[in-house]
Amino acid sequence: MRVEQFLILARQRVAELRRALVALPSEFARHRMCATQLRQLREQTLDELAQVNVPTLAPATLATVERYTGYGRFRDLDLNAYLARERDRLMQRVAEISADPRFIRRQELLDPTAGELTLRLKQARDELALIESGLQCYEQEPDFLDLYRRGYRTPAYRQSWLSRQYYLDWKRGDEITEKFGCKSFSEVRAAYDHLLRGREVCRKTLESLEGEIEDVRRLIAELNEAQRRLNDLPRFVLEDFRRMVREHLVLADRKQLFGWAGGDRVRESLIKRLDGVEKQLEYTQAMVDRCLKAEQHDLTEAITKLERKVAKFSRPKYAGTLLDPHQVQTWLRDPRERLVAQRARFWRDYAVVAEYNQYDRYDFASDLLWWDVMTDGRLDGSFIPEVEQYRQQHPGYVYQRPTPFYGQEVEVS
């Protein structure tokens, strides 16, 4: 094959591989969508588990929280005293905010049309806009910023008067000076510096005013929230307690939680679902890293190798050269068919893990992995650290109905 023919075919193949590479992010997006749904299910499960453990504020209920979750903050809690302290704290804060001059003058300060802070903020923004406009006059003038940054007409200017650049700068500096109606370039620089300082002052003023406005708004929001809590304090405290227990559940050991459930079917089912969903998130990410990132790497590598061949044989010295057809066939080999087939198998296996929902089948007392429960032992997960470690610790372990994973042979002990 003539080298010219190879170059045509190679460039076509590179274009095809690039299109395949550009399309790959949609596959990652598909995984992210699934992961988002799993995370939502995890959050929902944590909410439900917290609600099951703190269904009411009844002292008898709060007394069982530690037994079921290991969370001991409610131990010996005097609920009435707690509610009284919280009510006193809220009432004190309401009184403090109500007496704050900023809150008292809130309408006067924040009125959208005539508020003091609103008007000052508008004035500062207008001033900043004028300053920015003035700065643009200088900065859009050709060569001005170059002369300014190199310190023209200052001790920092290092251009020798013997150089051609010195005279070019001198000429351009005089032109700029004349354009801005100044007596020297130093005056032009001073005027620009004055605007820069003005912009900095104006920005600080704006930042300060925005902070003052935010402070007033924060006081209003805090007062409204405090009054809302006071109007229905037990409900808000119940939500607080559930949130506290939920934060503890996020970090609690799942197997230990299951043991603490003491045979309660509702709690056990939620804990299994929580643990299973977290494993699904872990496994599906590992599967994506294993297949899609490998596909991304293979495509990138194929493009790079082929582009090197194109660059090499595009040199004039190779013009008219005859290339070995077998070598050309190897260089132009298209990995897409293999990758597409591999990806189809990947999504089939991915669905087995991602769509699993029979969480109650798992037994914390058994020496089994979630991976084997979810896949019914039919998929090789040795690329997952947890699974590989399990296999090493159980050398006699045999998969049930072993099948290849992503086209790789599964070794059966």
What does the DSSP assignment read for 114-174?
A: T-HHHHHHHHHHHHHHHHHHHHHHHHTSTTHHHHHHTTTTSTT----TTSHHHHHHHHHHH
pTM of the shown model: 0.76
On whether both 373 and 277 belong to a single domain, the answer is yes
Structure tokens at 175: 């032109």
Give the domain-ending residue among 214, 233, 252.
233
Q: How far apart are CA 116 and CA 131, in angstroms?
A: 23
Predicted confidence at residue 5, as pLDDT, reads 85
In a domain, 197, yes or no: yes
- Contact by Cβ (8 Å): 299, 27: no
Query: Distance of CA 148 to CAs 118, 161, 169, 197, Å?
Result: 37, 17, 11, 15
On whether both 46 and 113 belong to a single domain, the answer is no
- Contact by Cβ (8 Å): 277, 41: yes
On whether both 229 and 311 belong to a single domain, the answer is no
Per-residue pLDDT of the chain (413 residues; tens, 9 = 90+): 788 888 888 898 889 888 888 888 888 899 999 999 999 999 999 999 999 999 999 999 999 999 999 999 999 999 999 999 999 999 999 999 999 999 999 999 999 999 999 999 999 999 999 999 999 999 999 999 999 999 999 999 988 888 898 999 999 999 999 999 999 999 999 999 999 999 999 999 999 999 999 999 999 999 999 999 999 999 999 999 999 999 999 999 999 999 999 899 999 999 999 999 999 999 999 999 888 888 888 888 888 988 898 888 888 887 888 888 888 888 888 888 888 888 889 899 999 999 999 999 999 988 789 999 999 888 888 888 888 888 888 776 664 433 444 444 333 33
On whether both 23 and 135 belong to a single domain, the answer is no
Predicted confidence at residue 290, as pLDDT, reads 87
Q: DSSP label at 1? A: -
In a domain, 358, yes or no: yes
On whether both 228 and 277 belong to a single domain, the answer is no
- Contact by Cβ (8 Å): 111, 105: no
In a domain, 243, yes or no: no
In a domain, 71, yes or no: no
Predicted confidence at residue 227, as pLDDT, reads 97
On whether both 117 and 222 belong to a single domain, the answer is yes
Which domain range does residue 120 map to? Answer: 102-233
- Contact by Cβ (8 Å): 143, 172: yes
- Contact by Cβ (8 Å): 65, 53: yes
On whether both 385 and 287 belong to a single domain, the answer is yes
In a domain, 224, yes or no: yes
On whether both 46 and 133 belong to a single domain, the answer is no
Predicted confidence at residue 356, as pLDDT, reads 95
In a domain, 67, yes or no: no
On whether both 269 and 388 belong to a single domain, the answer is yes
On whether both 194 and 107 belong to a single domain, the answer is yes
**N-term to C-term CA, the chain:** 49
In a domain, 33, yes or no: yes
Q: How far apart are CA 393 and CA 336, in angstroms?
A: 38
In a domain, 63, yes or no: no
Q: Coil, strand or helix: which one is 408? A: strand
Report the number of distinct structural domains present in the chain: 2
On whether both 200 and 299 belong to a single domain, the answer is no
On whether both 277 and 195 belong to a single domain, the answer is no
Q: Which residues of 326-344 are buried (b: 16+ CB within 10 A; e: fewer)?
A: eebeebeeeebeebeebbe
Q: How far apart are CA 52 and CA 54, in angstroms?
A: 6
- Name the residue among 11, 23, 9, 10 with its Cα closest to residue 340: 23
